[in-house]
Chains A and B, each alone.
Chain A
Amino acid sequence: MIEIKDIHKSFGDNEVLKGISGTFKEGVTNLIIGGSGSGKTTLLKCMIGLHQPEEGSVLYDGREFTQLNFEERIEIRKEIGMLFQGSALFDSMTVEENIMFPLNMFTEQTREEKLDRVNFCLERVNLEGKNKLYPAELSGGMKKRVGIARAIAMNPKYLFCDEPNSGLDPKTSIVIDELIKELTEEYNTTTIVVTHDMNSVMGIGDYIIFLHEGKKFWEGSNKEISKTDIEELNDFVFASRFMKAAKGKL
């Protein structure tokens, strides 16, 4: 479980996060949604320590994270898996080396054991046999899946996904969404997905936080999201033609 309490973050005079709080439970897919510039990626970066919030705290199963220094954070970070918007695979390494990288750094496993783990992760994301390919030889969807395989290589307790569907076609997006949901339920991870994709919201949003202009406007599940009378949320949810057309049926 991850708790965030009263997170504030500014860049110069621009206050991006204005006191966000929330609790993200394990075994369910937690979504942070909002329009562009609403502060969702900044919130994610504050949670994983890439940004330092001015106020507030982030607790990983009760362990305070924001006040720790680099060395103290390492133990918690070993329990974190992250899927980046652009996948962030290491260009100079093959798929196998990318997935093996955290294992090389933090485990004392033999090469055979590490290779078994790599093959298991690749199988889990349906990319068996792609070990020797370089990131430049992969499609966008395959890169995302390798990113997921790398993220789960260390059996993370916490899985973060930043815009996992950006740049993907709708069919591949659903594959990635379902994969994230399956892994969350299978390994009981605390999964947090930052997205503005309504397909993801309706498909995998067990618990959703809606951000608008740096504030939390709403929280609930995908079953409740279409039934609110919050104007800002409805503007966001029913912005697409598809969602407008489906409004009465949800």
Chain B
Amino acid sequence: MNFTNFGKYILLLKAAFRRPEKTKIYLKAIFQQMDFIGIGSLGLISIISTFIGAVMTLQIAFQLVSDLIPKTIIGSVNRDSSILELSPTISAIVLAGKIGSAISSEIGTMRVTEQIDALEIMGINAPGYLILPKILAGITMVPVLVIISMVLSIGGGYLGGTLSGAVSAAEYMQGITTDFNPYTIVVALVKAFVFGFIITSVPAYEGFYVKGGALEVAQASTRAVVVSCISILACDYIVTQLLL
């Protein structure tokens, strides 16, 4: 995203946050988007988080070759890695692929089939009607998904560790409850909030300014996912630097 695009992105966001024409209709759209982003992604996030947690436990156990390090550390490392990095970032990248491409292609198709022009002719603020509900749903539901992901990732670690015998249930439970710092949850939720904004606003921008036809819509979807992923990783670093 060069500076011109960044300027257009900011102007689009400014237009999206104008006062809605009718709050009731926007609220309905927000709930629809919350259902799409939240409930629609729950299965995928659950599966990914559980397996990542399980694999994490096995890999940490594999690297703990010294008898001087207690096995309870497996639970602690898994907990902190899941909360601080894996759940927010991996979830966000997966959601950027799933939701980002859907948002970009939906809005892009509306652009090339003149549906956005139709909204504007009617006197409706198209960025507000199309983008604002998605952003509000994103910054609400991505943190919820991240919390679910954290729980499932830690739970997956328990299952992976105990089923494989890499760590006992008691050691793992002791590990995840020792020296827990609740501030890590705050950091993760700040990340989730930022990622939720990126996952919805960047693809919306890419779709909104599509010119051409089906090929350009597909290219915009690809670009939306790539730019979202890079933005997520960059913001991940910035938030971590600022808050830890």
Give B2-18 as 1s and 0s: 1 = Cβ < 8 Å from A's Cβ atoms.
Answer: 00000000000001000
Do residues A82 and B124 form an inter-chain contact, with CB atoms below 8 A?
Answer: no
- Whether A84 contacts B123 in the complex (CB less than 8 A), given A104-B22, A105-B22, comes out as no
Known: A50-B120, A50-B121, A78-B123. A91 touches B115 (CB 8 A): yes
- The reply to whether A74 and B118 contact each other, CB–CB distance below 8 Å, is no
CB pair B124–A84 under 8 Å, yes or no, is: no
Do A85 and B114 touch across chains, with their CB atoms under 8 A apart? yes
Residues in chain B near residue A70, CB distance under 8 A? 15, 125
In contact, A84 and B21 (Cβ under 8 angstroms):
no
Residue of A nearest to B116 (CB): A88
B117 at interface by CB-CB < 8 Å: yes
Question: Which of B25, B114, B121 counts the most A-chain CB atoms under 10 A from its CB?
Answer: B121
Contacts of B109 in A (CB 8 A): 91
A78 to chain B, nearest CB (A): 5
Q: Which of A77, A91, A105, A160: most chain B Cβ within 10 A?
A: A105
| A74 (CB) vs chain B CBs: closest residue | B123
Interface size class of B (residues with CB under 8 A): 10 to 19
Contact across chains for B114 and A84 when beta carbons are under 8 A apart = yes
Let me know if A102 is at the binding interface, CB within 8 A.
yes
Q: Which of B21, B110, B118, B125 has the most CB of A within 10 A?
A: B118
A88 touches B21 (CB 8 A): no
A48 contacts chain B at the CB level, 8 A cutoff:
yes
The interface residues of chain A lying within 8 Å CB-to-CB of B117 are 50, 84, 88
CB of B113 closer than 8 Å to a CB of A? yes
**Contact call A48/B121, Cβ cutoff below 8 A:** yes
Pair B114/A80 contact, Cβ less than 8 Å: no
* Number of A positions contacting B (CB below 8 A): 24
Kindly state whether residue B244 has any CB partner on chain A within 8 Å.
no
Chain B, Cβ-Cβ closest to A78:
B123
Q: Please name all residues of chain B whose beta carbon is closer than 8 Å to the beta carbon of A50 when the two chains form the complex.
A: 117, 120-121
Q: How far does the alpha carbon of A70 sit from the alpha carbon of B123 in the complex, in Å?
A: 8
Asked if B124 contacts A105 (CB within 8 A), the reply is: yes
Interface residues of B in 120-165 (CB under 8 A from A): 120-125
Q: Chain B residues with Cβ under 8 A from A104's Cβ?
A: 22, 25
The docked-state distance in angstroms from the alpha carbon of A86 to that of B112 is: 10
List A27-69 residues whose CB lies under 8 Å from chain B.
Answer: 48-50
Contact with B along A147-182 (1 / 0, CB 8 A): 000000000000010000000000000000000000
Q: Determine the distance from Cα of A78 to Cα of B115 in the docked complex, in whole angstroms.
A: 17
Contact with B along A88-131 (1 / 0, CB 8 A): 11110000000001101110000000000000000000000000
Q: Chain A residues with Cβ under 8 A from B125's Cβ?
A: 70
Residues of A within 8 A of B114 (CB): 84-86, 88
Known contacts A70-B125, A74-B123, A77-B121; A105 and B21 CB within 8 A of each other? yes
Show 5 A/B contacts (Cβ-Cβ < 8 Å), sorted by A. Answer: A49-B121, A50-B117, A75-B123, A84-B114, A86-B113
Q: A-B pairs with the 10 shortest C-beta distances?
A: A77-B123, A88-B114, A74-B123, A88-B118, A82-B121, A84-B114, A102-B122, A88-B115, A78-B123, A105-B21
Interface residues of A (CB under 8 A from B): 48-50, 70, 73-75, 77-78, 80, 82, 84-86, 88-91, 101-102, 104-106, 160
A78-B122, A90-B110, A104-B22 given; name 8 further pairs at CB < 8 Å.
A70-B125, A77-B120, A80-B122, A86-B114, A88-B118, A91-B110, A105-B25, A105-B123
